[in-house]
């Protein structure tokens, strides 16, 4: 921490975190392309297992008051890209490539608007943490139930809206926490949090659009 200004240096600043987040999105996109070109669909579940395992590892590392590094961040985002390509392909066949592209643009617009607001606002969004944690657990439970119980119609739409609201809230919360910067060694984890917020927001927007389009068929 810079003792003269009382803030973190450029290496741990919000702008640096956002640059690493943008780079993580690029790595994930490259992973998606490589997955589409070279990874057989039968091997995708293996990448999902690796992705979940790395998420659990990141949680344990954080609980032990340690930090992940940049190799962990970029390996995780690349693996996520490989795991995502069948999902994106599935949505493309369901709603069309144009709507998938539109969902990505909408995600970028929502994320960017919320991030700018949280960065420039003096508001403290810490009060949202309990609601966001509870909501995220609820989304995870819904995801697990969907493997055993078909979910469609109005429930699927509500699920999508809830996911959009919750991960929009996470963007506000996380960016506000990083507003004054973090220690340089915490940048990879901060970038990972923003990456997960963006990807989940994108997936729930896709679910929302698919629910609307499906409801019109």
pLDDT in tens, 15-34: 999 999 999 999 999 999 99
Is residue 2 domain-resident? no
Evaluate whether residue 4 is within a structural domain.
no
Cα torsion through 197, 25, 157, 132, rounded to 10: 0
Residue 180 has pLDDT above 70, yes or no: yes
C-alpha–C-alpha distance, residues 117 and 104, integer Å? 20
Q: Is residue 22 part of a domain?
A: yes
Q: Could you tell me the pLDDT band of residue 217, with boundaries at 50, 70 and 90?
A: very low
Residue 202 pLDDT more than 80?
A: yes
In a domain, 152, yes or no: yes
**What does the pLDDT look like over 138-147, one tens digit per residue?**
999 999 998 8
Q: Model-level pTM?
A: 0.93
Residue 154: the pLDDT is: 86
Number of domains in the chain: 1
Encode pLDDT of 150-175 as tens digits: 877 788 999 999 999 999 999 999 99
- Per residue in 42-83, pLDDT (tens digit) is 999 999 999 999 999 999 998 898 999 999 999 999 999 999
Burial (CB < 10 A; 0-12, 13-18, 19+), residue 50, is middle
Is residue 1 situated within a structural domain? no
Predicted local distance difference test score (pLDDT) of residue 6: 44
Question: How many residues does the structure list for the chain?
Answer: 217
Residue 193 is predicted with a pLDDT of 97
Please name the residue that has the structure tokens 């709603």.
95
Q: Which residue, among 203, 192, 164, has the nearest Cα to 78 in the 3D structure?
A: 192
Domain of 73 in residue numbering reads as 10-216
Please give the angle made by the CA atoms of 91, 93 and 99, to the nearest 5 degrees.
Answer: 60
User: What integer pLDDT is reported at residue 215 of this predicted model?
Assistant: 54
Mean pLDDT of the chain: 92
């Amino acid at each position: 921490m810079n003792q003269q200004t009382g803030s973190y240096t450029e290496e741990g600043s919000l702008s640096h975190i956002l640059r690493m987040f943008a780079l993580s999105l690029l790595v994930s996109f490259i992973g998606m392309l490589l997955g589409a070109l070279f990874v057989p669909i039968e091997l995708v579940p293996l990448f999902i297992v690796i992705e979940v395992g790395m998420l659990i590892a990141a949680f344990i590392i954080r609980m032990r008051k340690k930090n992940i590094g940049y190799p962990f961040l970029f390996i995780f985002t690349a693996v996520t890209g490989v795991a995502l390509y069948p999902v994106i392909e599935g949505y493309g066949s369901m709603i069309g490539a144009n709507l998938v592209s539109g969902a990505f643009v909408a995600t970028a617009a929502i994320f960017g608007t919320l991030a700018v607001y949280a960065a420039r606002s003096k508001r403290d969004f810490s009060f949202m943490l309990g609601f966001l944690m509870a909501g995220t657990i609820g989304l995870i439970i819904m995801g697990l139930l969907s493997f055993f119980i078909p979910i469609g119609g109005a429930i699927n739409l509500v699920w999508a809206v809830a996911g959009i609201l919750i991960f929009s809230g996470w963007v506000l919360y996380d960016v506000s926490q990083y507003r004054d910067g973090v220690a340089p060694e915490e940048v990879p984890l901060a970038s990972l949090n923003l990456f997960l917020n963006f990807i989940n927001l994108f997936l729930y927007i896709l679910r929302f659009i698919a629910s609307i389009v499906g409801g019109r068929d």
